[in-house]
Amino acid sequence: KTISEQLSEREYSILTATVKDYIRTALPVASKRVNYPQVFAVLEFMSSTVSELIEGGN
């Protein structure tokens, strides 16, 4: 199953909006003043949140 199949439509739209927001706001800042450990920590947190959403939806 893909992520989109496992999440409800509402959860999926919230998730994609959140990711788009993050990309739009955080990445330009990160590219100017790169702090790789912090960027990776945020990405790791996001992926664990996604996993929790998926597991919670089952």
Q: Which amino acid is at 18?
A: T
pLDDT band at 57 (very low <50, low <70, confident <90, very high): low
| Structural domain containing residue 27 | 3-57
Tell which residue, 8, 5, 4, 18, has the closest CA to residue 49: 18
Q: Which of 2, 3, 18 is nearest to 52 (CA)?
A: 3
Of the candidates 3, 8, 9, 1, the residue with the CA atom closest to the CA atom of residue 47: 3
- Give the per-residue pLDDT at 58: 47
In this predicted structure, what is the pLDDT of residue 55? 73
Q: Tens digits of per-residue pLDDT, 1-36?
A: 666 677 788 888 888 888 888 877 776 666 666 666
Report residue 53 as tokens.
């959403």
N-term to C-term CA, the chain = 11
Q: How many domains does the chain have?
A: 1
Query: Tell me: the pLDDT tens digits for 29-56?
Result: 666 666 667 777 887 787 777 777 777 6
